Structure 1
């Protein structure tokens, strides 16, 4: 567990493995000069304690997913340092947290656009034209897979199964804290959706400056 010891003549951070209290991150601080330096917990203490309260004491690992969503909310992706912080809060290894992060397309490991267009390219979807759809969509937006549009609003990503193989081409749209699904897509239909979002964002900006 990361704790910071401050003395009169020195200030140094030590790595201590659960030497203070198993409840260290659950709102109880150890005595003396030791205090937590878990930035995620410090920033969202009330919300994290509420999340942890949903689960039995021996099943804090069940909080990994909501904590990943919490870490992702601020920047639109989960920064690397959050893995160790979530591991410390839930009492699991950093590898355990990373395995959850990597498994679900709902979580992002790298920065992207405000809106992420995630196209399933698994074999069943590919047989229904998803790879061609993805290629043509990228061309229409002037980006490559994984890149962000010039206005910073959209990134296009290839992902694994989204459970709608029979309605491919399809994509999952993540942005502004929402997740939406669009099925039986063509590039023309998708561009209409994109232009609608752009118009909404422009209207939003005008409202703020109006």
Structure 2
């Protein structure tokens, strides 16, 4: 996950967003890059930010919202500092991924695609991480952890506290 500037205060975030608007003002088809940079600034795409983007570039909000919800790279809710992706592919499933997910979910107190209240973790499931030989497998941020048991998964996650 790219580091966001979400620790800044709201006023400075909007100032930063204004610089992004200035950068793309004359660029045709700039909606996706604008959304990407706005998400980098805020850590996610708040509704008021998407409305401001729509107004600035003169596109209907429905189009901006449609693009933001179509692409999985965009997030409409705040995310955790650590993104946990648990593979649910066939090899992982056969080797106990459901039990790993259940244990991690219970330990963190969140379900699929939810973020802990302290915003330390966001728990996601993915169809495949491409590491079937390590099944069951998860990624925490950019780190891959394989041959998991429920207890091993929880222990690995605790290292990111």
Distance in 2 (CA, whole Å) between partners of 1:49 and 1:170 is: 43
Following superposition, the deviation at residue 98 of structure 1 comes to 2.0
The Cα shift of 1:99 comes to 2.6
Asked whether 1:82 is paired with 2:49, we answer: yes
Question: Which of 66, 85, 92 pairs up with 1:118?
Answer: 85
Partner of 1:197: 160
C-alpha spacing 1:79/1:124, structure 2 compared with 1 (3 Å): farther
- In the alignment, structure 2 segments of 5+ residues that lack a partner are 1-12
Specify which structure has the bigger relative contact order, considering alpha-carbon pairs within 8 angstroms and separated by 6 or more residues: 2
CA pair 71-101 structure 1, distance change in 2 beyond 3 A: same
Q: What stretches of structure 1 move > 6 A for 4+ residues in a row? A: none
TM-score, L = length of structure 1: 0.52
- The count of aligned residue pairs is 147
TM value normalised by structure 2 = 0.63
Unaligned 5+ segments in structure 1 are: 1-39, 175-179, 199-210
Residue 64 of structure 1: which of 20, 31, 48 is its match?
A: 31
Matches of 1:41 and 1:75 in 2, distance apart? Answer: 9
Match of 2:64 in 1: 97
Question: Partners of 1:122 and 1:88 in 2: how far apart?
Answer: 41
Q: Looking at CA atoms only, which structure, 1 or 2, has the larger radius of gyration? A: 1
Q: Does 1:155 align with 2:118?
A: no
1:49 is aligned to: 22
Larger relative strand fraction:
1
Q: 1:49 to 1:157 in 2, by over 3 A?
A: same
Residue 146 of structure 2 is aligned to residue 184 of structure 1:
yes
SS at match of 1:197: coil
